[in-house]
Amino acid sequence: MEAVKQKRRYFHQLLIRLGEERHKEIIVESEFGVTSTSQLNEEQVDRLIRAAESRLSRQGRLLKESRSKEQKHLKNWRNKCLLVLNERGIVATPKDWSAINNELSKKQYQWVMPDNGIINRKGLFAFRTVDDLKILFKQLCAIRDNEKKAAIKIKDLTLKN
C-alpha cells in the first residue's frame, strides 16, 4: 500500500515537471475512467508513470534540439564575423586569440556590446546572442569596406604621382 502512495506522489511530481498538474484529473479520467489516482491499483499507476516519463523525455529531447540549433546559429554568425576580420588581416590562431580580442576591445565596437559601458575583454564570445552578432557583423563589414575604399584612394594617388 505504501508503494502505491509513493508511486502516486512520483506521478504527481512528473506532472509538475511537465507543467500538467492541473490536468491530472483529465489524464486519469481519460485513461481509466476515474477522477482520482487513489482509485487506481499499482499497475495502473505504473502505466501513468511510464506515459509521463515518456512525455518528459520527449520534451527534454525537443529542448536539447532547440538549444543545439541555437548554438549552431551562434557559431555560424561568429564564423562570419571571423571571416570579415580575417579579410582585414586580423587573424586568430587556435592558441592565440589576442589579435581578435584586442580589435574587439576598441571603442568603435563598444556600442554594439549588449551591456553598454562595459569594455569587451572576452573578444568574440562577449556577443552572446545572434542579434548582437548580426550588429557586429554589419559593423565589421562597414569598417572593412571603408578600409578598402581608403586603400583604393591611396593607390590611385600614388599612381598619379
Is the model's pLDDT at 114 over the cut of 70?
Answer: no
| Average confidence score pLDDT of the chain | 84
Contacts of 139 (CB under 8 A, 6+ apart): 108, 109, 112
Domain parsing of the chain, residue ranges: 2-65, 88-160
Q: What are phi and psi of 96, to 5 degrees?
A: -135, 105
Q: Are 45 and 8 in contact (CB under 8 A)?
A: yes
Buried b (16+ CB within 10 A) or exposed e, 122-136: ebbebbeeeebbebb
Judged against a pLDDT cut of 60, whether residue 117 lies above it is answered with: no
pLDDT attached to residue 86: 93
Q: How confident is the model at residue 94 (pLDDT cuts 50, 70, 90)?
A: confident
Predicted pLDDT at 123: 77
